[in-house]
Amino acid sequence: MPDISSPINGPLHVIGVHIAARARLQSTGEQSLRATPDGFGTPAFGPDSRRVRIAGTALVVESEAGGEPRVEARSLDGTTLRQLAEVAGVDLDRDIYVGDDAPPLGDPDAPLAVDAAAARALARTYAVAATALDRALVALGTQDRGATLPRLWPEHFDLAVDLEVKPGTRANLGVSPGDGFHAGPYAYVGPWTAERPGDPDFWNAPFGAYLPLDTDRPDPSNPADRAARFFLDGVSRLG
């Protein structure tokens, strides 16, 4: 199986920050991304309802300028960031900030090496994360909790929501594809306070609690169910 134990600062992370997130940030001032078909990307933004997304090992740019829908796609592997920037309509010479831990731009004229198996594995992780968050939010009844929509944060490359677990107290629920804390995908519950009620064994991370996920399973509903139950357990303990 592909090794995606360290997607942080890898080529897909760099592309996510400096092509997808940069495109939305330079147009609207907003940086968060979404889980999209076969990968991740922006929601529609700007006057042409542009969407900049990564689908497998391709950059896909969709727009509806002047009522004329258009799609342009470019392979990521062997292409440079500067070439991708031209397709996405972003300015690599402008400084952006999406967090202290975001990967640097590096050499925009160096060819990128994007592994297809790793890209598929990353897309599966985000698909599992989106499904798990949907299931948990439906079960929780989000209309009373002020839940945010699921957002993929370019700095840490995680897909997450935050919501109220009890009056005046919020927590993050999300899935990371793997980082310096844990090698591989994991779900997490991150309270905004230092409170860690109940069984101390549940709170097994400095930021709260985490659950390793096997997102390479043939049936993605299994890890999604495990993550959703974990989210609900964490919210119940905090509430």
Q: Is the dihedral of CA 203, 158, 221, 217 positive or negative?
A: negative
Give the Cα separation of 40 and 20 in Å (integer): 9
Per-domain residue ranges of the chain = 11-114, 119-238
**Helical spans, DSSP H, in the chain:** 11-15, 22-28, 81-88, 116-140, 221-238
> 149: helix, coil or strand?
coil
- The tens place of each residue's pLDDT in the chain, 239 residues long, gives 333 445 777 999 999 999 999 999 999 999 999 999 999 999 999 999 999 999 999 999 999 977 789 999 999 999 999 999 999 999 999 999 999 999 999 999 999 999 999 999 999 999 999 999 999 999 998 778 999 999 999 999 999 999 999 999 999 999 999 999 999 999 999 999 999 999 999 999 999 999 999 987 667 669 999 999 999 999 999 99
pTM of structure: 0.93
